[in-house]
């Protein structure tokens, strides 16, 4: 099917998740041909949960001994390129040769945990999730920006209905989050589970967690406070969105070419308040509350 919208006709239910056919193919290629390495580190997320930001934080944290902060490699390559986005690399056979990436290889994916092969799930994972109300708003803007221009834009009412029914790329949202939540409770040393909101509120704490989790903990010799602060500043919304590569560069997802600037909109918590009616808020909160019951996970004001 044509198009990259999130209309039902572009998505297929594949083992319980709604995927665009290009990602179903990518998933099959992943299972058949991808060879993971024990040192690989994966960043997993539902779309629009802060993936781009986390990528930049991870790259900056892991490379902090190698680059000085005035001439940081983010300026040259951008957060999109140092990572390999699994599903966009796996679009045809033979698959991209990842063997010349230096260790640890960094991969990003939107696949839910249960759609990953066990060789991959034995690697370290960082998962970032976000209040679904903000995810919905962010995704609605994003999808309409990158849509096939011969398709009409998706109305917010339609987007809301689909999201509440769980019909969304890589969704249902709650199944995605739960797939990683469960795995992180089973193996906390293998999955670092983060929320966008906590990264916003305590970014330096998150940088320290990232450093330790990725096997590069801060040492006594480092000026930990200053270095963590530098990383946070380098990757803040203002700085990241103003990098040349993010103002002018593009990211390719198979044939789809997306301007990097589309990955930056507002970068705020609670923008949903400008779009959802009280009734819509109640409905989505009710669904999420019900679906996440017993997981210990909450979003929004009750979090
Ligand atoms: P908004 O549309 O709410 O602004 P992803 O990278 O997973 O596609 O997520 C994109 C969302 O993260 C967008 O949210 C974007 O603005 C926000 N974002 C990008 N960089 C950010 C940063 N440095 N700090 C906070 N939010 C950021």
Residue 81 confidence class, pLDDT cut points 50, 70, 90: low
List pLDDT tens digits, range 131-145: 999 999 999 999 998
| Whether the CB of 261 sits within 6 Å of ligand 1 | no
Per-residue confidence (pLDDT) for residue 126, from 0 to 100: 98
Gap between the Cα atoms of 96 and 82, Å rounded: 15
Active site residue 289: no
**For 215-235, what is the mean pLDDT?**
92
Please name the residue whose Cα sits nearest to atom 26 of ligand 1: 267
Contacts 24+ apart (CB under 8 A), 176-180: 176/17, 176/46, 176/112, 177/46, 177/129, 177/292, 177/297, 178/291, 178/292, 178/295, 178/297, 179/112, 179/113, 179/114, 180/44, 180/112, 180/113, 180/125, 180/127, 180/129
CATH number of the domain located at residue range(s) 8-302 in this protein = 3.40.50.300
Gap between the Cα atoms of 29 and 92, Å rounded: 8
Per-residue confidence (pLDDT) for residue 73, from 0 to 100: 57
Name residue, tokens 């990725």.
214
| Whether the CB of 80 sits within 6 Å of ligand 1 | no
**For 182-206, what is the mean pLDDT?**
97
List pLDDT tens digits, range 82-138: 788 898 889 888 998 998 888 899 999 999 999 999 999 999 999 999 999 999 999
Domain parsing of the chain, residue ranges: 8-302
List pLDDT tens digits, range 271-290: 999 999 999 999 999 999 99
**Contact assessment for residue 41 and residue 106, using Cβ atoms and an 8 Å cutoff:** yes
Q: For residue 279, how far is its CA from the centre of ligand 1 (angstroms)?
A: 26
Gap between the Cα atoms of 186 and 190, Å rounded: 9
């Amino acid at each position: 099917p044509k198009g990259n919208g999130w209309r039902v006709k572009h998505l297929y239910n594949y083992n319980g998740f709604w995927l665009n056919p290009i990602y179903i193919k990518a998933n099959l290629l992943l299972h058949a041909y991808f060879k993971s390495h024990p040192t690989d580190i994966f960043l997993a997320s539902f779309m629009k949960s802060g993936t781009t930001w986390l990528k930049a934080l991870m790259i900056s944290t892991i490379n902090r001994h190698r680059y000085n902060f005035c001439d940081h490699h983010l300026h040259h390559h951008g957060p999109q390129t140092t990572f390999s986005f699994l599903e966009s690399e796996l679009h045809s056979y033979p698959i991209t040769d990842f063997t010349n990436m230096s260790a640890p290889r960094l991969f990003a994916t939107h696949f839910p945990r249960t759609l990953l092969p066990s060789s991959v799930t034995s690697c370290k994972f960082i998962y970032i999730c976000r209040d679904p109300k903000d995810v919905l708003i962010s995704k609605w803007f994003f999808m309409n920006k990158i849509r096939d221009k011969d398709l009409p834009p998706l109305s917010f009412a339609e987007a809301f209905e689909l999201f509440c029914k769980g019909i969304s790329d890589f969704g249902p949202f709650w199944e995605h989050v739960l797939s990683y939540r469960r795995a992180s409770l089973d193996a906390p040393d293998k999955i670092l589970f983060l929320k966008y909101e906590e990264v916003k509120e305590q970014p330096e704490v998150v940088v320290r967690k990232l450093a330790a989790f990725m096997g590069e903990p801060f040492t006594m010799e480092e000026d930990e406070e200053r270095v963590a602060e530098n990383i946070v500043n380098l990757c803040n919304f203002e700085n990241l969105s103003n990098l040349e590569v993010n103002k002018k560069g593009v990211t390719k997802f198979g044939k789809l070419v997306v301007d990097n600037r589309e990955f930056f909109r507002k970068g705020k918590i609670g923008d949903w308040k400008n779009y959802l009616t009280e009734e819509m808020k109640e409905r989505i909160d009710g669904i999420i509350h019900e679906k996440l019951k017993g997981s210990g996970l909450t979003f929004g004001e009750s979090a």
